[in-house]
Amino acid sequence: MAQTIETRLADLGVTLPAAAAPAANYVPFMRSGNLLLTAGQLPFKDGKLSSTGLLGRDVDVEAGKEAAKYCAINVLAQAKAALGDLEKIRRVVKITVFVASTPDFVEQHLVANGASDFLVAALGDHGKHARSAVGTAALPLNAPVEIEAIIEFE
């Protein structure tokens, strides 16, 4: 029998947090047909940002990858809130990874690997996805990473 997503998460030492409530006039996710689109998720861990600042100045690549992983964990928390059961996920279609970074930082793709590697570890082949990794001047709350996702569900 195949492992469930919840079992894989437990094996990875991950407990999904409660899905974050929106901080302004938007919804945390939107369903359209069989697609779930999440609002951008910040790297909250235990109620606070895992790190703050810019990649290339305040945050190194490893801490950035960890922040991206926490963003992906929060994406799954939103998916669970929206779908009720992570087993309804058919695939992660695409993630967009925003990396707050200095103008000379060019390793956004390495930071994004933190989310991509986690999603494949947690979801298996259903976690393989298309991806964009984008450098930006700043993110809300001085977060180093923010991720939004498009997920196909049954």
Q: What is the pLDDT of residues 8-47, one digit of tens each?
A: 999 999 999 999 999 899 999 999 999 999 999 999 999 9
- Give 10-residue mean pLDDT values along the chain (154 residues): 88 96 94 98 96 98 98 98 97 98 98 98 97 98 98 97
CATH code for the domain in which residue 76 is found? 3.30.1330.40
Q: What residues have CB less than 8 Å from 114, skipping those under 6 apart? A: 64, 65, 66, 67, 68, 69, 72
Please report how the helices 108-123 and 61-83 are oriented relative to each other, as an axis angle in degrees rounded to 10.
40
**Structural domain harbouring 115:** 35-153
* 27 in any annotated domain: no
Partners of 41 in the β-ladder: 147
Query: Which residues in 56-93 are b (16+ Cβ under 10 Å) and which e?
Result: beebebebbbbbbbbbbbbbbbbbbbbbeebebbeebe
Domain count, the chain: 1
